[in-house]
């Protein structure tokens, strides 16, 4: 097997001084040639099923505004969804929303293991290494994962603009939500369009909650951040609120 020789991790602003550690698991739509688009068209791979449209670019703006380190995942979520543990079927989805993924069906154990070993494990090891280095340097860490969601899912229109996603008893996320609501007229909601009953809390649980590290997962509707102006506006709002919560 080959095609996943490149590191799955891109580290932006590694010297960033903020407590915030930004993570973007679905940053890229990149599928190496040897995977033949997993049997999909270019348009399918470039749609929201392949990546979180606008999320990486918004996260880069945030990284600069906050002077925060940012860990990006460099492969399409269709190859491996780094916000899912290997035990989840949807980690290597045979179906995404309503699209069957031929290149993900009937994989051998070896093929699954190759993706886990080359994408999931090194990506999360890098996050662990970052947090460990900060802790050893006496620094605090707040884990903030940046996502975007499609305005139309299985035919249903979503009006929420920013979702604050977390498990119960998450003080950081609750405070973020309250301040964001006061600071903005946008449609901001707690645990929409996803919530703790969906399998979306893997990264914040593994690196945050499980270690008593403050964390929040943020979901912006992708039509708002397709282009630079929106990425900038939403990064401004999110950055301002994050700084207030963390003050």
Which residues contact its own copies by CB under 8 A? 6-7, 10, 12-13, 15, 28-30, 33, 42-43, 46, 51, 53, 57, 61, 64-65, 67, 74, 226-229, 232-233
Q: Which is nearer to its own copies, 104 or 222 (CB)?
A: 222
- Nearest approach in angstroms of CB 11 to its own copies is 10
Q: Which is nearer to its own copies, 5 or 110 (CB)?
A: 5
Show Cβ contacts of residue 113 under 8 Å, excluding neighbours closer than 6 positions: none
Phi, then psi, of 43 in degrees rounded to 5: -60, -40
The CA distance from 50 to 78, in Å, is: 6
- Nearest approach in angstroms of CB 17 to its own copies is 9
Is the CB of residue 164 less than 8 Å from the CB of residue 189?
yes
Q: Which is nearer to its own copies, 61 or 242 (CB)?
A: 61
The helix (H) or strand (E) run that includes residue 207 is helix 202-207
- Nearest approach in angstroms of CB 228 to its own copies is 5
Helices (H), ranges, 49-170: 55-66, 109-115, 121-136
- Nearest approach in angstroms of CB 58 to its own copies is 12
Q: Which is nearer to its own copies, 117 or 233 (CB)?
A: 233
Report the candidate in 230, 216, 225 with the shortest Cα–Cα distance to residue 178.
216
């Amino acid at each position: 097997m080959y095609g996943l020789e490149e590191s799955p991790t891109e580290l932006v602003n590694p010297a960033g001084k903020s407590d915030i550690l930004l993570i973007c698991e679905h940053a890229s739509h990149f599928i190496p040639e040897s995977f033949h688009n997993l049997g999909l068209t270019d348009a399918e791979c470039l749609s929201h099923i392949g990546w979180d449209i606008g999320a990486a670019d918004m996260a880069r703006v945030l990284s600069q505004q906050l002077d925060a380190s940012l860990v990006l995942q460099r492969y399409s979520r269709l190859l491996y969804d780094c916000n899912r543990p290997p035990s989840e079927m949807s980690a290597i989805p045979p179906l995404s929303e309503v699209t069957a993924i031929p290149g993900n069906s009937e994989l051998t154990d070896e093929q699954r293991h190759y993706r886990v070993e080359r994408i999931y494990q090194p990506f999360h090891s890098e996050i662990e290494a970052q947090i460990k280095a900060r802790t050893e340097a006496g620094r605090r860490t707040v884990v903030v994962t940046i996502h975007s969601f499609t305005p139309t899912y299985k035919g249903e229109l979503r009006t929420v603009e920013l979702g604050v996603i977390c498990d119960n008893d998450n003080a950081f996320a609750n405070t973020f939500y309250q301040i964001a609501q006061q600071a903005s007229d946008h449609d901001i909601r707690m645990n929409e369009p996803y919530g703790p009953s969906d399998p979306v809390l893997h990264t914040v649980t593994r690196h945050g909650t499980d270690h008593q590290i403050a964390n929040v997962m943020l979901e912006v509707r992708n039509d708002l951040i397709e282009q630079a102006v929106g990425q900038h506006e939403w990064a401004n709002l999110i950055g301002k609120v994050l700084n207030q919560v963390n003050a």
